[in-house]
Amino acid sequence: MAKKVVVIGSGPGGYPAALRLKELGAEVCIIEAWDFGGTCLNRGCIPSKAFLDTAHRIHAFEGLRKLLKDGSGADFSPAMLDWEKIKARRTGVVLKLRASLERLFQAKKIEVIRGAAAFTGKNEVTVTTPQGPVTKQFDAAVLAVGTRPGFPPPFLELKEQLSDSDRIFDLPRLPASILIVGGGVIGLEFACFFNAMGVETGILELLPDILAGEDPQVTRTVRSSFEKRGIKFHLGKKAVKLEIAGGIKTVTLEYGTQLKAEEILVGAGRFADLSQLGLETIGLKWDRKGVKVDNFMRTAAENIYAVGDINGISPLAHSASRQGEIAAENILGAQKIFDADIAPKCVYAWPEVGTVGLNPAQAEAKGLTVKTSRAFFMGVGRAVAAEETEGFVQLVSDASDETMLGAQIVGGPATELIHLIAIAVKLKLKRSDLREIIYAHPTMAEAIHEALNK
């Protein structure tokens, strides 16, 4: 008899779990309280990339200015763009992908229940739907409900008058100025977008640097690029007071410095809120970091698995997808584990950032003797021809046997190139293995080859 499995949440962790379960012969029901695709499709990865694509087009046009005939479109400015059309384009992209996902569920004959789920027994969940409660029995369940934006003080008290990474897409108009709280991936990507749109942009970060945990050479390069475009950084600064008056939001920092902006976007992390799931019914504890799992994605309740950012392992959509597949396979008898070391971390601003595995400091902290080599895009023919010479490729390997440990790429198509190194880390390839690959010429990937030869 086929195993009955309930998947709660249809985001990047839930829908791959449901599809893999169905492929392996399980009887699957997916429960979604909101829209198919979760935060990633509706309020995160996809809509933000639609916005960033607009910004990239502006950036590309700026690069063409010097090639225009005199008087030919030289008066273009971001102010000529229609904000409502930009938002409508984003909405169209989201709706198209959401409809595609819905059709996929239908084609695979996966049962879908729309409503809020809560556990009412060890093997039972009750869904509150518009038509009334629906109860489902299951052998195993996968939690994939995602997280919510967090508001640290002093922003928490006035959060309804501020933007977060969910609500920022629906601003009624572009502000003249914006202060972004948080120097992580969310903050940097939106800073890149708003700056390109002609908005005066600043980033406030409590920590002494952006992109916490990344190699210093990476953060220096990104910071320098942003600053050249007029984005201001306020690093290692703590906000102690927020005031809103006359359409202006004023943040007071320690020691009295004040920052003013029309809009504030709080992008200082996301946190779990599992209070409506009835986890106490099945003996599961949770906190703002989510619910703990082992390497097999199992929670303390033996038939309940948790994937995505609610398990605190890796807050990335692609990590959630892999965890969902692993949970599905393990429910049906496999013993797969999730390896966070091969999950690329990407920033889709410009310069792009793609990192995987260990950086030099992390490798040395593990007691390894490290060989680090670096090649700059300014020495790569394709990059020079495209006038995209910002950034570098840095490779990290074990000095004792040349096994690849990781890489940090800034600039060019970093988020695409990083997958080659992810494969190398996964397969424990050596530098010599990568050197034997023939790199097409001219390509940006030749920067990897250059770094290998240093």
Residues designated catalytic: 441
Nearest CA to 264 among 210, 198, 222, 203? Answer: 203
Q: What are the distances in angstroms from CA 399 to CA 17, 402, 418?
A: 39, 5, 21
H/E/C letters for each residue in 230-297?
CCEEEECCCEEEEEEECCEEEEEEHHHCEEEECEEEECCCEECCCCCCCHHHHCCCCECCECCCCCCC
For residue 428, which phi and psi values (nearest 5 degrees)? 55, 45
Query: Residue 285: CB partners within 8 Å, gap ≥ 6?
Result: 279, 291, 300
Phi-psi region of 355 (alpha: psi -120 to 50; beta: other; left: phi over 0): beta
Q: Which long-range contacts (CB under 8 A, 24 or more apart) does 362-369 make?
A: 362/406, 363/396, 363/398, 363/405, 363/406, 368/398, 368/399, 368/400, 368/405, 369/398, 369/399, 369/400
What residue has token string 């169209």? 92
Nearest CA to 5 among 33, 31, 32, 29? Answer: 29
What residue has token string 């948080």? 182
Question: Are the CB atoms for 180 and 263 separated by under 8 Å?
Answer: no
Q: What are the distances in angstroms from CA 65 to CA 69, 70, 73, 197?
A: 9, 10, 8, 17
CA dist., res. 71 & res. 254, Å (int): 49
- Encoded tokens for 443: 């390509």
Question: Are the CB atoms for 341 and 335 separated by under 8 Å?
Answer: no
What stretches of 289-447 adopt beta strand conformation (E)?
A: 304-306, 345-347, 353-357, 370-376, 392-398, 404-410
